[in-house]
Structure 1
């Protein structure tokens, strides 16, 4: 029986959690725990409330999979929250797989769990990973030993499929892919900065300039804390 701990936190981006959760709930012989500091509802970036099944204290000490979703609005304060980082560091030190999607890798890095590992993240903040001793990789899903990280938001579906194949084999993963009819055909080929029109890339960066500055400051502070520890 797999034990899977999935962190939830205020202002996380819903698809970062729900995409991987869709696969994890269908792995078979798996207990999936949504985990937060307490059992109070957590409100996401989209305004949806999620209830944790386990508090940090009640979460099993030994996990097969530790998973962290992203969401820049939520990841910025989370990188500065010692209670969250201490929980991740503790469970991640023993978990068989330490995983994330999107800016969740920043939280793993801030908890000291990505030093010496290759990792993916949301394209706007990938450059922050070296602050935590990680090597950023421009791929949808990156596997480096027992670290499995996904890129931004929708990469959670690819991450979940990859993890399912890793745990249950390729045939099981293909069955899950068909079961949820994951057959993407996007209307545009602008889902990565390397292919999107340059003007759109710059416009989006300008729109989120304040958040990106705050993310860098939070990452620098977290990296300093990690360095002291």
Structure 2
């Protein structure tokens, strides 16, 4: 199946989930996760109209996206993987959104980076909803303090993000993230991947991060 057909199929599945959830299609942004895939695999999706992409690593994105953005200057790039504090300035220059703000040290680094580059990149705060420290994410109990610090540092937090534990029904974790976002007055919920994005949409996702269903299985 070519890129345009895969993209159309994902849009159809999103539209169906949105209808079931009695939501509007414009409420859900498809983030095409292009990590590990070369520019020649990304270009067909851009040609088919996809404009929002997700990358896991700053260096990988920096290597392949400048040339793609010359051809498609309206493409948006989201960082969906863990971010090291020493890469904060590079991320601030390259990305249009950061989904993995999860600790005070990174918050401090991003605030300084945003001041240096003269732009404030919208962020999702990653929550460790499944209590899996190896995945990164702020503990639920630490979320109010980190949000307060972000507001004080003028770091724009537009929502929350989570990666549920693998092999477990994801719905309870999506429901938890939705509740936390509501409790803290945040509109964004970055949740749901290739295998569970329809469930995430039913439970309030505003950004779904789809890689395998669009690009095929990674090597």
TM over 0.5: no
TM-score normalised by structure 2 residue count = 0.32
Give the structure with the higher percent helix: 2
